[in-house]
Structure 1
């Protein structure tokens, strides 16, 4: 996030938000605690983000911790393997996994988190769109394939494997997931 679109200490604010979320869970995440940990006055936080949900959405969307460098490997398969590896890192890294799990754990009990998730995934899909535009231009996708469905299937397979099955997602699993998704889209 540039300083023109947020406060100067945005990254420190986002880091504090995500750390506190991971440490205390969504219900105990408080603007006052974020202000104290980030060294920013709480009025500054409220000026930029009117609620805890708005702040959490911004932290998930704009924090460098969750940044996605959109791959361009020259093939849809290669790009999807790179994105799959990125998703796997987010779900398993010591730095990101606690925030992801805390958000998911709170979700069923906090309907307002639905908007946070929608915001995050809409932004992520917008960033991934060039992958599918390039693939379509190369003739790697048939007409009418919905990139959102492809990403839901791919990401869903990884999330399900890691978070619900408690399994591992090694490079072989990622290749199988990408190839299975592409088998229905090529």
Structure 2
């Protein structure tokens, strides 16, 4: 759903959804609570989103909270470094990190969150596609290189290091991750 084509208070609805998710976790996220916090009747929510999962997917995809700027630095390396920096910011910001944590911790127990994740990351990949189109036009990307694999390797390195390994994810790590994805480890 494009936020311009949604209910008038879509941003308030999305903000309430993500705040409640961060505060109470996925299991206790309820349409009624979102309606109360956003000041919208719950029938309005159900008119636009038939389930909690549909609402959460829309909030993750369409709210300004997880917005990213698609860079155009003039090089694939520069664009990927800018994207990596934004991914890092989203995973560490006091406003977004609790939402990421709540979504990740609920995932193994709630298979329906897989649809939410797939929707979010498909949308994100569609937005990142111009990075790879420009890189291919400049001759920086080998024929047949899969942008999804590139982004999975890059984002996966950041997610794993930050959320599981607990290691340093500063600028030097981000540069190393980008360079390793682009050039390989050999």
TM-score for both structures, normalised by structure 2: 0.97
**Displacement of 1:2:** 3.7
Query: How does 1:49-68 map onto structure 2 within 5 Å?
Result: 49-68=49-68
Any gaps of 5 or more consecutive residues in structure 1?
none
Aligned match of 2:131: 131
Write out aligned runs for 1:13-162 (5 A). Answer: 13-162=13-162
Deviation at 1:167, TM superposition (A): 1.8
- Partner of 1:73, secondary structure, is coil
Alpha carbons 2:70, 2:128 under 8 Å: kept: yes
Distance 2:23 2:166 in 1: 21
Whole-angstrom distance in 2 between the partners of 1:151 and 1:140: 15
Alpha-carbon distance between aligned partners in 1 of 2:104 and 2:3, rounded to the nearest angstrom: 28
What SS does the corresponding residue of 1:77 show, helix, strand or coil? helix
Q: Give me the whole-angstrom Cα distance separating, in 1, the residues matched to 2:88 and 2:73.
A: 18
Aligned length, in residue pairs: 183
RMSD (CA atoms): 0.7
Unaligned runs of 5+ in 2: none
| Superposition TM-score, scaled by structure 1 size | 0.97
Runs of 4+ in structure 1 off by over 6 angstroms are none
**Which residue does 1:9 correspond to in 2?**
9
Three-state SS of the structure 2 residue aligned to 1:58 is helix
Structure 2: distance between partners of 1:112 and 1:98: 20
The answer to whether the Cα contact below 8 Å between 2:20 and 2:34 also exists between their aligned partners in 1 is yes
Q: Is the 8 A contact 2:3 2:62 kept in 1?
A: no
Q: Return closer, same or farther for 1:25/1:2 CA change in 2, 3 Å cut-off.
A: closer
Distance 1:2 1:18 in 2: 15
Aligned counterparts of 1:77 and 1:36: Cα–Cα separation in 2: 45
